[in-house]
Amino acid sequence: MATINDNYLKLKAGYLFPEIGRRVAAFAEANPDAPIIKLGIGDVTEPLPEACRTAMVRAVEDMGDRDSFKGYGPEQGYLWLREKVAQHDFQSRGCDIDASEIFISDGSKCDCGNILDIFGSNNSIAVTDPVYPVYVDTNVMAGHTGPANENGEYGGLTYLPISAENAFTASIPSEKVDLIYLCFPNNPTGAVASKEHLQAWVHYARAHGSIILFDAAYEAFITDPAIPHSIYEIEGARDCAIEFRSFSKNAGFTGTRCALTVVPKTLMGKAADGSDVALHSLWNRRQSTKFNGVSYIVQRGAEAVYSPEGQAQTKALIDFYMENARIIREQLTSAGIAVYGGVNAPYVWVKTPNDLSSWDFFDKLLHSCHVVGTPGSGFGAAGEGYFRISAFNSRDNVNEAMRRVTEKFRV
C-alpha cells in the first residue's frame, strides 16, 4: 500500500476555520430559525468594485475574439499588472521594487505555504503566538516540526509571544532563527508595526542571514500615515525579506482570487555546498513548474484596482469596513470589554469578558447572541482568553451583532 506523508498526522484536529464552520453548522441545524451573524472568518461581503467588474467583462469579451483571445499567460503574471503593482504599491512609497520581482498568484495563503518549496528542511523557524495558522500548519506538513505538545505548540518552532504588554509586537529573539514570519497589520490581533520595529527586524535578519516572510495582506487598512505599508520601506529589506500581498481584502477578491509575492533579485539563500543562490530564480522555477498563472480575466480585474475609479472604489470599500471596525470597538468598549486592533486593521482583538476561555466565549456568543467570532486560542496558546471579531460584514449585521453582544455581556 502506498504510504502517506505522516507529518499530516501531527496536525491538530482541523484547520481553525473549518472547525468553526462545523460548530456553526451543527448549531444552525439544531436551531434553524436562529438569525446567525458571522464575524468569524475574514471574508468580505461587499460586491466587487465596479471598475474591476467592468474590466473583467471586457476581458471576457477579449476571450471571445480570436485576435484578443488568450491561452496560457505568463506564470509570473502579465507584465501590465506587475508594472502597475510595482509603481503604485512600491515605487510610489519609495520602495526599490521592480516589476520583474513581482509574481502574481491566486492567493497569499497559497504563496505563504508554497514558499517553503524553495527553502531547506533544516531551517529554524520563528512565528508569533498568536499567529495566522497557515504559517505553522504548512511547516508541520513539510516536516519542519516535531509533534505538538498539550498546548498545541509544535516542537522545533520558536514561538514569539505577543500580548497587550508588548503591544502585540514580538521582541527580537536572542537566538538565531533562519526564517521569521511577520504579519502586519496583524492577523489576528490587528496590531501594526512602527518603522523602528521593522528596522530592528531587518537589522536582526541581516546580521544572522535570516529571511523575513512578511505578510502584508492587510496593508490597505492602515490609517496612520506613520506606519509602513511594505517591509521594503525599511532600508536593507531587499536583502532579507519576501513580501506577500493580496487583492482579497482591499478589493473584495476572496472569491475571485488574485494576490502577489515579491522576491527581490538581491535576496540570497545558502546552498548545501555553501554557495549563495538567488531565491528569485528558485521561486521563478517553482512557479513555472507548478503554477500556470492567474486567469487573464481576473488579472484585468486586478489591474483596474489601480485606475482612478478603482482607487476611489477600493478606498470606499476599505472605509466601509473600517467604519464597521470602529463600531465594533466602540460598542464593546462601552460595554466594558477590553479591545485591541481595529484601527489600522479590519480585525478587533477582544479580551474575553469574565475571564472566559476563548472557546467558552465562542459557544456563549453563538448560543446566546447567535454571533460567530474566532476563538483566540485557535491562533495559538497565547491567544487563550482572547477572541477575534472581523469587521467584514454589512453595516446592518455589524450593528445588530453589537446590539446583541452588548445586551448580554457587560463587564
Binding site for ligand MLT (CB under 6 A): 41-43, 109, 187
Minimum Å distance from CB 133 to ligand MLT? 8
Nearer to ligand MLT by Cβ, of 82 and 109: the residue is 109
Residue by residue, DSSP assigns 379-395 as G-GGGTTEEEEE--S-H
What minimum distance in Å lies between the beta carbon of 378 and ligand MLT?
A: 10
76 vs 189, which CB is nearer to ligand MLT?
189
DSSP 235-275: TTGGGTEEEEEESTTTS--TTT--EEEE--TT-EEE-TTS-
How far is the C-alpha of 404 from the C-alpha of 397, rounded, in Å? Answer: 11
Name all contacts of 281-286 with Cβ < 8 Å and 24+ positions apart.
Answer: 282/118, 283/103, 283/115, 283/118, 284/76, 284/103, 286/114, 286/117, 286/118
In 3D space, the residue among 403, 42, 371 whose CA is nearest the CA of residue 221 turns out to be: 42
Beta carbon of residue 207, minimum distance to ligand MLT (angstroms, whole number): 32
Q: What phi and psi, each to the nearest 5 degrees, are found at residue 358?
A: -60, -45
Specify the residue, 41 or 200, whose C-beta has the smaller distance to ligand MLT: 41
304/345 with CB nearer ligand MLT: 345
Beta carbon nearer to ligand MLT, 43 or 309: 43
Residue nearest to ligand MLT (CB): 42
For residue 240 the three cell numbers come to: 532579507
Strands of 18-165 (E only): list them.
37-38, 102-105, 125-129, 157-161
Q: Which is nearer to ligand MLT, 43 or 83 (CB)?
A: 43
Cα–Cα nearest to 210, from 199, 223, 201: 201
CA 227 to chain centre: 17
Minimum separation from the CB atom of position 257 to ligand MLT (A): 11
